[in-house]
Chains A and B, each alone.
Chain A
Amino acid sequence: MKYLRIEQKRPRIAVFDFTGCEGCSLQLSNKEDTLGAFLDAIEIVNFREVSSDKGDDYEVALIDGAISRPDEVERLKAIRDRAALLVAMGSCACFGGVNRLKNACDLDEANREVYGDHPKETMPTMAVKEVVPVDLEVPGCPVTKAEMERVVQHLVWDLPLPKYAYPVCLECKQRYTVCRFDVGELCLGPITRAGCGAPCPAGELGCWGCRGPAEAPNYDEFFALAEEKGFTGQEINDRLAFFGGFEGIQL
């Protein structure tokens, strides 16, 4: 790809999927109006879901999914050894995602319930950073392609990557969305990291916290608000545990 008639450096990127729905990988093929330019800016050397090329000379590894089986640990370590930069892409990679809900269950019992007399290998769900060092985390369930484009712009041209210290609440205000608390629904918008553009409240669903905590969230104030609006401890704690980003935070 040329810019100002000068050949640009294209980072060699690989996409790997582990325990999850592959929805974040799928987002990379979305935002079709700029997909051509996106593909010009990078070189995809390994992306099993869309390509039969199986190169291992990548610089950047995008990791989709959580880690929940011993072979995944080994595969991830080998990828970490080869990649100069490793990005946890999506809530499963960043926090374990909904897969983390499994950790509250007895795994032998879970295995018996689903597979009967043929139990399958499994282990408690881990985030990528619990297995190998992570250079960059992009949370979201799913991630947005717009944010992944900003990650690539950051990698190719060193453009600054917004950190979104503020919570989702602010993005609702920016798009004039009616507050979910005002229609009687629980919402994690006051404590969840922004950057998604707040599509859920705009679609009439309170925030479920898929992007994890904003910078220095005021939990005390949030708990007081949620209780004042009449939500129970169980409702609040269920919501906080859903995507794994608020691990250890409970009312």
Chain B
Amino acid sequence: MSGSKTINLNVDVRHLTRVEGHGDIKVRVANGQLAEAGWEIVETPRFFEVMLKGKHYTAAGILTARICGICSIGHCLASVRATENAFGLTVPEAASRLRLLAEHGEILQSHLLHLFFLAAPDFLGLPSAIPLKNVKPEVFALAMRLKGLANHIGNVVAGRATHPVSIQVGGMAKMPEKHVLLDLKSRLERSLADLDATVEVFKTFEIPDFTRETEFVSLKGERDYALIGGRMISTDGAEMPEADYRAMTNEYVTENNTSKWCKLSRESFAVGALARLNNNYHRLHPKARIAAVQFDLAPVCHNPFMNNVAQLVECVHVVHDSMRIIDELVRDVGAETMAPVTPRAGRGVGAVEVPRGILYHDIEYGDDGRIIRANCVIPTTQNNANIHYDLGPLVKQFAVEGMTDERLELLCSMLVRSYDPCISCSVH
């Protein structure tokens, strides 16, 4: 900001569009000085943690899936994992593979929805992706083919992509038939050209040049690009086991938000595709790293707008890794996918990397297998404070002579959208 007394700007966005849920942006620059820059969550609270009380363990994953229409598979996985940790049971290896494949499908579906439907219109100067059908029919067709494939993974592996049915305490209730798996693999192979074309489309987009030093939190990739369970790490050096998630998130309630806020080593931190990539870059599939290089994306990247690119890189990763998993699963056909379940009193935590970042469910059971207490910490809950604290420096950098309210509103909206916030999830 030049500090010029002639610069006066106002951004007042009520219910930001092209994000999941309801959030507001307020920015005011008066006489060249930043007077206000904030992100507020006004979503209606649903009280899931209270609704979970007294429920039987078989209901936990079915209920928590309804926290989010986009990452329902991730919520279901976090709940069944928390429950299995509480009961002290290990799921069969084939079930673990199927779960990872289901989560890959969800990450692909969610990232593609965000990249093409929610983020791309800003870079193309369109109000939505709907006109793409006429102005860039080849891009629309490409997006449809890839998104259709992503939903297909969820449908065949989890029984349904939105609100899954086969992810149950003990493992996976169903192993897809061999011909279904082989068909899925051939569809994944055929999608590689579409992924390359998507990379070319996004290379034409101008990513705003803005950085703010940020702490990034994700699961720690010890053997692979970690997505389900294990230890958590941050770029500031924090490292903790799954069960210590409270110390990793430090949720607190603020006056103006129905979502809680979180902090770790600083006043805020970020989770999501960029955080995972920053922490586990070398565990990405080599083809995904090649995609990252094309965008000059390397760890540690502190530009929040690059989360869009990190999502695209993860799309490449999950497609390639899905093919690897299917090769293993084809050898597993006929293997047991459910472990016997014996409820017992206890508490368990499940951490899962869902599309927008690390998700924690913490569930305590009585010896009747019914829930005594539950807590869910959502990725966007962890990102909300970071979005808020990004806005001030962003406005300061771009509030120069010639800036208009409209362009600043677009820039602030694009920043928030880069985090792909899932607001109803964050409030739950």
Query: What is the interface of chain A, defined by CB distance below 8 A to chain B?
Result: 17-27, 29-30, 32-33, 35-36, 39-40, 44, 47-54, 68-69, 72, 97-99, 101-102, 105, 107, 109-111, 113-118, 120, 122, 141-142, 199-200, 202-205, 208, 235, 238, 242
Contact = CB atoms under 8 A, between A and B. Distances in A.
Contact of B46 (A26, A33, A68): A68
Contacts of B45: 114-115, 120, 122
B144 A33 contact: yes
A23 B173 contact: no
B69 A51 contact: no
Given A98-B63, A102-B46, A203-B165, 15 more contacts: A23-B68, A23-B69, A23-B163, A33-B144, A48-B17, A52-B17, A101-B63, A102-B47, A102-B51, A111-B47, A203-B164, A204-B174, A205-B62, A205-B159, A238-B55
Across chains A and B, which 4 residue pairs bring their CB atoms closest together, nearest first? A23-B69, A203-B159, A51-B128, A204-B173
Contact of A22 (B21, B128, B158): B21
B404 interface: no
A242 B50 contact: no
Contacts of B113: 26, 29
Nearest to B137: A36
Interface of B: 15, 17-21, 44-47, 49-51, 53, 55-56, 59, 62-63, 66-70, 72, 113, 117-118, 121, 127-130, 133, 140, 144-145, 147-148, 151, 158-166, 168, 173-174, 253-255, 258, 424-425
Contact of A49 (B18, B50, B147, B160): B18
B165 A199 contact: yes
B40 to A, nearest CB: 13
A205 B56 contact: no
A122 B428 CA distance: 13
A108 B46 CA distance: 13
B59 A242 contact: yes
Contacts, number: 165
Contacts of A109: 50
A115 B252 CA distance: 9
Nearest to B423: A22
Contact of A39 (B130, B145, B161, B173): B130
A53 B69 contact: no
A25 B20 CA distance: 10
A114 B69 contact: no
Contact of B50 (A25, A36, A110): A110
Given A110-B50, A115-B253, A204 B117 contact: no
A114 B50 contact: yes
Contact of B128 (A36, A52, A199): A52
Contact of B72 (A23, A117, A205, A242): A23
A205 B162 CA distance: 15
B159 A200 contact: yes
A111 B424 CA distance: 17
B92 to A, nearest CB: 15
A238 to B, nearest CB: 7
Given A53-B128, A99-B46, A199-B159, A21 B424 contact: yes
Contacts of A102: 46-47, 50-51
B66 A203 contact: no
B134 to A, nearest CB: 10
Given A97-B66, A102-B50, A242-B59, A36 B17 contact: no
